[in-house]
Structures are given as structure tokens and as C-alpha cells.
Structure 1
Amino acid sequence: MENILTITLVGFFVGMVGTGIGGLFAPFIKGTNQKYVSSLLGLTGGIMLSIVAFELLPQSYILGGIITEIVGILVGIILVVSIEEMTSKKDYDSLFKSGIVLSISMGIHNLPEGLAIGSSFMADNEMGITLALAILIHNLPEGLALAIPLKAGKLSNLEIILITFFVGIPTGIGSFIGAYVGTVSNFLISFCLALAGGTMLYIICNDLIPNAKDLHSGRTATVWIIIGFILGMITVF
């Protein structure tokens, strides 16, 4: 039981500190210049698109097959659309809504990461440590990518920092489940990954990239989307 508690604490640390550090950059994000905001949103869209393309969906396919992956993506999209419908009658900034939905999708995405950490530690401590460090590093740009639309949506720095920390909580929960159970159903992990992938894909295509292009008509957003995509590749691989 003591070992399970330690693994759970590692999961909470990896999740909350990883994304939380990205959120700490919020005070340095200035949202007054449209070209600047366009660049940041492009960077966010590129990073998230890379994570979806090279991590979430391929892993979902490997673990659960094409049917599970497609169902998870569709459920994720339905989830986002439902949230949009519930908030459409309220006077919320579109980027604020994008940031909140992205927070939810990242939280869903962090659960299977925690399951992987817990299961890895139970199989081999060295493997668990290696995976935990990799996920910690991987979470840094995710936290920054989450902070950018929240900042553009006019949330305060404190609110952004708290949200980026809280988004990491499911990693600790997943680590506990993975350590307690030992092995977790591949179908569950596959479905969670595809669900997160679907929600992120919708936000990227419907909100982040279109908003980045609308804010500045030049090529700036496109360049930063590509830079973000490459940065995301580096953190995934």
C-alpha cells in the first residue's frame, strides 16, 4: 500500500507540475497585439495537432483498434459540441470557451497517461521512472499551449495557473488506478486517448487555427502553426 501511495504521489507531481509550469508563463503572455496573439494561437494549434497526430491517435489504434478509435473520436466531438451548445446562450468569449474545452480534453488525456505510469511502476521501477520523466517533460508545452487561449480569453493569471495545475490531477488518479489494479484494460486506455484526441482535434480545427488566421491576415499564424507542430513532434518523440 505504501508503494501505491508513492506511485500516486509521483503521478500527481508529474501531471500537476508538468502542466502547471506551462501555466506559470501566463503573466508573460501579452494579449494586446493581434499579430502576437495570432502567433501564440498558431503555436498552440501546431503543438496540439502534433500531439493528436503522433501520440494520442496512434496509441489509441495500437491498443484498441480502428473501431474503438473512431468511436472515441466521435464521442469526443459530440462532447465538445454539447459543451458549446450549453454555453452558446451565454456571453462568453470564443477563445475562453476554447480554453475551457481544451482544459477538459487535456484532463481526459492525462488520465491514461497516469494509468501508464502506475502500470509501469508495478512492472518495473526503472521503467516507471523513465516514463514519468518523459511525461513530465512532455506536459510542459501542453501547459503553455493551454495557457495561451485562456489568456486570450481574458482570464486572470491566477485563474490560468490554477486551471493548468488542476488539469494534471487526472494523472495522479490514473497512477493510483494503474498501480492498484496492476494492469488496465487496453480498451479503456484506447477509448480515453481517442476521446481526448477527438476533443482536441475539434478545438484545433474549429477554434484555434481559424481564430489565429482571423486575427492576422498574413502568414504569421501559418509559420507558428508549423513551428508548434515541430515542437510537438520533438516532445512526443
Structure 2
Amino acid sequence: MDLLSSPHIPPSLIGAITIYPLLFATLGKLQWVKNILPPKADTQKHYHLSNKIVASLHSTIMTVTGTYLLVSVDWSANDIATYKTALTPFLVGLELGYLTQDTAFEFYQRVRFGVGSNLILFHHVAVILGSVYYLVALTINYPGPYFIGMLSLMNMSTPILHYRWALQSRGRTFMSSKLKRFIDTALLVTYFWCRIFGNWWMGVAVGAKLGVSWYQAPFHISKKFTILTTTMFLMNVVWWLILAKQWLKSVNTFYFTKKPTKKTE
């Protein structure tokens, strides 16, 4: 079988593995990208920034395409689990290609800079395995476009996360500003909506289709979908709880903790 024509290897997978690293390398050489960070920023910071720009671009493409998929299909006339569309393997291939190169970035920065997040690495590896499983086992007969479209919307909060990182990297002024609290709140709400509420809504949609409650839905559909969405849901809940804890601490410190006043003679 020709590799490029295989239903298990969509062109978007090959494109992502090729284009994203090239974009990453190009960004690292552009002066306007370097100017985003303070002059004293080290090589690791600039390396991280380029990766975050690539991630934000990828997330935007996934969100826009996933939204188009969800609103362009008449789900009342087509089965939400088995309706076939070319956008489904495109989205899965793009996500798999991005996560593959981003996981390589995680390993590389550990070797070069001695830094890295075990939680991010675990998240990437888990999604990669899930994407590979999907392409190998489901592409031909059970493409599940509704599920893939909803999962694609999980990328919606990523640009906000990386924009916050860029502002934080510019100095302490942002850390003590109301703008930080606003962005933190936007991130918390968006993350909950697209990564937790979205997963729950898939259960509601499936339940409505099958005539059962949302919590019964996972037991009435293929385990192929249940395992993937449940795993993603649990990981996203952990991430959101971490964000919520940071948000509470930030808001409490900014609005409710009294700053010591200087005594005057």
C-alpha cells in the first residue's frame, strides 16, 4: 500500500511533522520574535517562545477547523459516531503531527537546558498513543467526526495560556497588574468550557441520540470512543484543578491580602 494514500496516514500528519519544525526553526531566527522577550532573556526562553508560537498557531487551526466540522454537518440526519468526512482524519493527523514534534521538543529541552514538565510529557504521550490508535483502528469504519470535532475545540484555551506566558516573561509589572487577573480568569473559564464542559456535552449529545442519560451514554457506545474521551477528560480535570488553585491564590493575593503599610514617624 502506498504510504501517502493510506487511510491511516493522512497528509496532514506528514505536513505537520514537516512544516511545524521548519516554522519553529524560522521563528528562532526572526528579530521581531526575539524582541518579544526582554533583552536579558536567555537562549532557553527564546527557544520556548518559538515553540509556544507554533503551539498557538496549531491550536488556532484546530479550533477553527473543528468548529467548522461541528457546524457544517447536520447531526440530526447523520450519525454522530460513524458519519464519514475528510476533516476527521485531517484533524487527527494534524494533532498527532504537532504532538510528535512538540514531544520531541520536550525531550530536547531536557537534554539541552535541563528543564521540562513531566505532566506535559505524560499528556503528550497519552494523546499520541490515542491518536495512533484512532488512525490505525478507526479511520476506515468508525471515524467519529463529532467526537474529533469536540476534542479539537480543546485547543481553544492554548493561545491564551501562551500569551500569558509571554507577558509574564516580560517582567514583574504584568505579574502585579489587573490584566494578569483578567487573563487568568479568561484562561480558567475557557479551559473549563472547551476541555471539561465539552467532554460532558459529548455525553449529553450521545445520550440524546440513544435516548439515555448523559452518564449512561458511555456504556452504550463503542469502548474505542469511551476510553479515549474518558482519559482526556480525567487529564483535563487535573490540569484545570491546578489552574484553579493558581487562580485562587493569585486573586486572593491581589485583592484580599493587605499590603503592609510603612509607618511614619
- Regarding TM over 0.5, the answer is no
Indicate the structure (1 or 2) with the bigger Cα radius of gyration. Answer: 2
Bin for the TM-score computed over the shorter chain: 0.3 to 0.5
TM-score by length of 2: 0.35
- Judging by fraction of residues, say which structure has more helix: 1
